[in-house]
Amino acid sequence: MPAVSDKASRHWFVTGASGGLGRHLTEHALHKGDRVTATVRRPAALEDLRETHGERLTVEMLDLTRPAEVDEVIGRTLRSGPVDIVVNNAGYAVVGAAEEMTVEQIRDQIEVLLLAPMMITRAFLRPMREQGGGRIIQISSVGGQVGIPTHSSYHAGKWGLEGFTESVSREVRDFNVHLTLVEPGATRTGFASALQYTTETAVYRDNAVGQTRRYLETADENLFTGDPAKLAAAIYDTTRRPSPPLRLPLGSDTYSAIHAALTERLTALETQKDLTESVAFTH
């Protein structure tokens, strides 16, 4: 069977398509002649695209924190025909000190950012394997490799997604199923305006937590330099490549941030080389 990337028209499954990058990806795929099943939380969010593209767009209401609902939507999607490309895009961030976050906020972050993509990925692996291939696009973040104050639960979800994806990618590559982690930087998608904030406590007001919170609360849109339409086009292009990258960093700020984080990590590792090796048995 031809590789998925060679098919003239493909079927996409995109979560979180109401706005931002998810909507741009949906629109770009439709413009290219593909078919899209898009999940949303607002019924009318894609009405204009449905009017333009007709039956090539299927819109499904979906709350990712409800596993039974996720299973139902995926089952209905697969019954409508093979899915070639899955995009786990839905996500948001809670901003504040870890100590300030409620159990509910932490649990919801992990459910949306990590557990839901894991379950959706698992649900599509067998059908993709049996049909001869497929692509799974995980929308991670520069925050999947770089940590900042105020984003502990968000980072837990994204770093977890990175580890899960790297492992699964090695399990299924022999079946022509390829996984790619997309790591956008600051992108003008409305993500910042949708940030949720913890109830601030005085002890964190003047340290790195408070400073980061203030920066995000007052951030001008011009600080978000990533163009979501260009990101969507770049992601689409990788789905046409026979051997897509495992990680796809996107954004003028992303390369420098990830490069600095990895360099710092490697430098720290080198300083501990002797200690690291000293704990082995000697014979």
Q: Which residues are catalytically annotated?
A: 140, 154, 158
Answer whether 47's CB lies under 8 Å from 69's CB: no
